[in-house]
Amino acid sequence: MIEPYNWLSEIKRYYGFSRSELKWLLLSVVVMAFIVGFDDGRPEFNALFWGFNFLLSLVAVAIAVFVHESAHRITGIEQGYKTSFKPSLYALIAGLIISFMSYGKVVFLAYGTCFINIIEKHRLGYFRYQLGYFHLGTTTLMGPLANMLAAVVFHALPLVPDALREKIVWVNILVALTSFLPVPGLDGPQILYASRWLYFLVLGAMIALSVFMLKGFPWWAVIIAAVLGGVACWVGFRLLIEPKL
């Protein structure tokens, strides 16, 4: 682990994205913004209204992707790893197909995952000098968790216009839950492989938090629901699923 006084300097050194990563992230943001904004909720098409809705979707998706990838990057650096973005073209295509087939009623926001590489000078002296799969899982986990935190924060911000705030909250929840699916090319399989009990604990918490937050419950009720939902999902896994594995 990097010493606290070196943390900010290491972030400045290793946080940056390569040109290839930036191209894929930009493509992912535009495609997912189109998916989110495909259905503007109006019975008839209006170019001006659709364009405004697409712009809101673009801002919301850009914020969600920035939060998600920054959490991956910073957590990896804190654990002594250089994080790289791995795009999933198939996930983006799947999202477009689902959006067209459902006329925008079903939104699937998936665009890739992350991989980590050891920063040698920060890992010297560690027992069993090798890549830790649990560290990969926890680094990947921070992306969806950061999106859920961003959703909670924006949900509580009164200064943000309602239309933009609702879009940001909704998109961050969708990105978090979609990336958590145990589908190759997303964050889910890496988290599940690192720790099955942690996967189900967080999954239950995120689902409960999302439902209660979107229903307009106060923040304290949302937190309680997230804790209870996580524990319930974890207990269900331990009692019903794990014995059969």
Domains of the chain: which residue ranges? 4-183, 195-245
- What mean pLDDT is reported for the chain? 87
Q: Please report which helix (H) or strand (E) contains residue 198, including its range.
A: helix 196-214
Q: Is 65 exposed, middle or buried (CB count within 10 Å of its CB: 0-12, 13-18, 19+)?
A: buried
pLDDT beyond 70 at 28: yes
Among 210, 192, 167, 184, which residue's Cα sits nearest to residue 32?
167
pLDDT beyond 80 at 123: no
Judge contact between 93 and 185, C-beta under 8 A.
no
62 vs 20: CA distance, rounded Å: 17
Determine the average pLDDT of the residues in 16-39.
Answer: 94
69 vs 36: CA distance, rounded Å: 19
Among 79, 66, 64, which residue's Cα sits nearest to residue 10?
79
- Enter the pTM of the model: 0.88
- Give the model confidence (pLDDT) of 143-152 as tens digits: 999 999 999 8
19 vs 17: CA distance, rounded Å: 7
Determine the average pLDDT of the residues in 210-226.
Answer: 87
Judge contact between 179 and 110, C-beta under 8 A.
yes
Q: CB within 8 A of 154, min separation 6: which ones?
A: 160, 165, 168, 169, 172
Most confident of the following: 2-16, 23-37, 215-229: 23-37
- Give the model confidence (pLDDT) of 67-116 as tens digits: 999 999 998 888 878 888 999 999 999 999 999 999 889 999 999 998 88
Q: How many CB atoms sit inside 10 A of residue 174's CB?
A: 23
- At residue 186, the pLDDT reads 92
- At residue 132, the pLDDT reads 64
Q: Which residue has the tokens 């699923």?
A: 241
More confident residue, 245 or 16: 16
- At residue 131, the pLDDT reads 60
pLDDT beyond 50 at 19: yes
pLDDT beyond 70 at 228: yes
pLDDT beyond 70 at 130: no
- Give the model confidence (pLDDT) of 36-50 as tens digits: 999 888 888 888 999
Q: Which residue has the tokens 């997303």?
A: 186
Q: CB within 8 A of 243, min separation 6: which ones?
A: none
- At residue 178, the pLDDT reads 95
pLDDT beyond 60 at 120: no
- At residue 127, the pLDDT reads 45
